[in-house]
Chains A and B, each alone.
Chain A
Amino acid sequence: MTEATPRIATFPVKRERAFDPPDLLRRWQEEAPIRRMTYADGHEGWVVTGYAAARAILADPRFSTRPELLHSPIPQRNLRLQNMNVPPGFFIRMDPPDHTRYRKLLTGQFTVRRMKLLEPRVEEIANARLDEMERQGPPAELVSAFALPIPSLVICELLGVPYDDRAKFQRDSAVMLNLDSTLDEVTAAMADLLTYLHNLVMRKTADPEDDLLSGLIAGGELTDRELAGIALLLLVAGHETTANMLGLGTFALLSNPPQMAALREDPTLIDNAVEELMRYLSIVHLGPIRAALEDVEIDGHLIRAGESVTLAIAAANRDPERFGGGDMLDVSRSAHGHLAFGHGVHQCLGQQLARTEMRIAYAALLRRLPGLRLAVPPGEVPMRSNMAIYGVHRLPVAW
């Protein structure tokens, strides 16, 4: 058993180059795929940058995702995790068997086959956004014109949340995901959104419609508060993530003209390109974070019960031992097995929905706007280093 490697303070989230993980993570990866890291509150935990170890830990039931057990790897989130109140139904922060119960009630709604049925509607939504962009003419800001509205509208329709209320939930989720928000601000935003969703659940109980929330209500297994918590998780996880993949992914393609050209020439590459963009960009760039429930030995390191482990997905997805030449975007590479949707029992519930949205949206964008280009120098694109989900704040484009 090796003893502690030298301690280093806190986890980096700021990327030196728009698409690459922070250099410090890559340096740690070269030195040791799993190593000690000092957390913001002084806790001596671990950071994992190697693919194999990250995957193994994510699949290991001896690690917990409950916030009260987790220490924060970055100073901004200091104290935040342990003080976070997990709303009922918010199963991303629960361990089995609590987690299992909620997840099983939902998985039937997110199968590969169910998502296929949504394709025509997603296609329609993407084309409507492009119609509008063409009508207004260039230049345009791609995040607000395209990347954010598509997944927002899709998740609203799926859940049964009125899209007209988007200003509210987009603002609240932005506060929740901003690493610089204070604990009070996050708590207030979450409470606000929960109240809104709780009211929606009551309206739908009285007046059911043909949507996921009404279906869950009809199932009769969940309380109103659980339903509101589930809706909160699906709404926040369901629009910000895909939106950022669409914005950042387009920026990455525009910055790699040969890859963009290859995808234009052979549209059948799209499934592959989506996986590769997910791997290459790894927009979940802080965590996941887990805590050991008992002593666990991994690669000759003894992780003691109670110690926090940060899984650096962005670095793991570039691990040269798993993805050769991984620092290059290559839409023809087989990127399967990447960890951008996580791994283990919490692996993204909405991944088949996200894949459907990305395939259709990227393909429509490339097809409809053949002259798509950046309208500002690449260095002026504002990056979301301060958000829990990485991406671009804005992407000015012309065509």
Chain B
Amino acid sequence: MKIKADTDKCVGAGMCALSLPEVFDQSEEDGTVVVLDPEPPEGLATGVRRAVNLCPSGALSVEE
């Protein structure tokens, strides 16, 4: 799976970094999402999907 993040849409709510810190962080500058691991291992797939779904602004998506 491949994670795509649109920092223009991101509102820095931090749901991604809270739910899956292995994959998502937030920039020190403006709090927008930083994807630490854009192609995470299969074992994290459920967690990634959950984080994508929790994101309030629709900034995250995955390509399978």
Is B a genuine binding partner of A? Answer: yes
Alpha-carbon distance between A347 and B16 when the two chains are bound, in angstroms:
13
Nearest chain A CB to B62 CB, angstrom units: 17
Closest to A344 in B: B56
A-B contact count (CB 8 A): 73
**Does chain B have a CB within 8 A of A135?**
no
| Complex interface: stretch among A21-29, A102-110, A194-202, A249-257 | A102-110
Judge whether B30 and A107 touch: CB under 8 Å: yes
Q: Are B26 and A113 in contact (CB under 8 A)?
A: yes
- Establish whether residues B25 and A113, one from each chain, have CB atoms under 8 Å apart when the complex forms: yes
Question: What chain B residues lie within 8 Å of A336 (beta carbons)?
Answer: 19, 50, 54
Instruction: Please tell me if B29 contacts chain A, counting CB pairs below 8 Å.
Output: yes
- A108 adjacent to B31 (CB under 8 Å): yes
Contact residues, A333-383 vs B (CB, 8 A): 336-337, 341-345, 347-349, 351-352, 355
If the complex has contacts A103-B11, A110-B12, are A345 and B56 also in contact, measured as CB distance less than 8 A?
A: yes
Q: Across the interface, name the chain B residue whose C-beta is closest to A55.
A: B56
**B19, B31, B50, B58: the one within 8 Å of A111 (CB):** B31
Chain B's interface: helix, strand, loop or mixed, by majority?
A: loop
Please state if A107 and B25 are interface contacts (CB–CB under 8 Å). no
Determine which of A100, A108, A109, A352 lies in contact with B18 in the assembled complex, contact meaning CB atoms within 8 Å: A352
> Are B26 and A111 within 8 A (Cβ)?
yes
Complex Cα–Cα for A111 and B31 (A) = 6
A-side binding surface: helix, strand, loop or mixed?
A: helix
Q: How far is the CA of A331 from the CA of B31 in the complex (A)?
A: 30
- Residue in A58, A110, A337, A348 whose beta carbon sits within 8 Å of that of B31 in the complex: A110
Q: Which residues of A contact B17 (CB under 8 A)?
A: 111-113
Tell me the complex Cα distance, A336–B12, Å.
18
Q: Which chain A residue has the least Cβ–Cβ distance from B18?
A: A112
CA distance A355 to B18 in the complex (A): 10
Is the CB of A293 closer than 8 A to any CB of chain B? no
Q: A108-B28, A109-B31, A113-B25 are in contact. Are A337 and B53 (CB under 8 A)?
A: yes
- State whether B30 touches A347 (Cβ < 8 A): no
> Considering only CB atoms, which chain A residue lies closest to B7 in the complex?
A104
- Smallest CB gap from B57: residue in A: A345
A111 with B12: in contact, given A336-B19, A336-B50, A352-B18 (CB under 8 Å)?
A: yes
Task: Report if A111-B14 is in contact (Cβ < 8 Å); known contacts: A104-B30, A336-B19.
Answer: yes
* Residue numbers in A under 8 Å from B36 (CB-CB): none
Residues of B within 8 A of A104 (CB): 12, 30-32
Interface presence of A59 (CB below 8 A): yes
Judge whether B27 and A343 touch: CB under 8 Å: no
The interface residues of chain A lying within 8 Å CB-to-CB of B13 are 107, 341, 347-349, 351
Please, what's the 1-or-0 string for A97-128, where 1 marks a CB less than 8 Å from any CB in chain B?
Answer: 00010011111111111000000000000000
Select from chain A the residue with minimum beta-carbon distance to B12: A107
Residue B38 is within 8 A (CB to CB) of chain A in the complex: no
Q: Indicate which residue in B25, B27, B57 contacts A108 across the interface (CB closer than 8 Å).
A: B27
Residues of A within 8 A of B19 (CB): 336
- A112 and B26 within 8 A (CB): yes
Q: Are B56 and A343 in contact (CB under 8 A)?
A: yes
In the bound complex, what is the Cα–Cα distance between A342 and B12 (angstroms)? 14
Q: In the bound complex, what is the Cα–Cα distance between A61 and B13 (angstroms)? A: 17
Cβ contacts under 8 Å, B25 to chain A: 113
Chain A residues lying within 8 Å of B30, measured Cβ to Cβ, are: 104-105, 107-108
- A-contact 0/1 string along B20-59, CB 8 Å cutoff: 0100011111111000000000000000001001101110
| Cβ A103 vs Cβ B26 within 8 A | no
A109 to B27, CA, bound (A): 10
Extra contacts, 10 of them, besides A337-B54, A345-B11, A347-B15 (Cβ < 8 A), are: A100-B11, A105-B30, A108-B26, A108-B29, A108-B30, A108-B31, A110-B12, A110-B31, A113-B17, A347-B57
- 4 shortest interchain CB distances as A-B pairs: A107-B12, A107-B31, A347-B56, A111-B26
> Which residue numbers of A lie inside 8 Å of B, CB to CB?
58-59, 100, 103-113, 336-337, 341-345, 347-349, 351-352, 355
Please name 19 pairs of A and B residues whose Cβ atoms are closer than 8 Å in the assembled complex, sorted by A: A59-B56, A104-B30, A104-B31, A106-B31, A107-B11, A107-B12, A108-B26, A111-B26, A111-B31, A112-B18, A113-B17, A113-B26, A336-B19, A341-B13, A344-B57, A345-B56, A347-B15, A348-B13, A355-B18
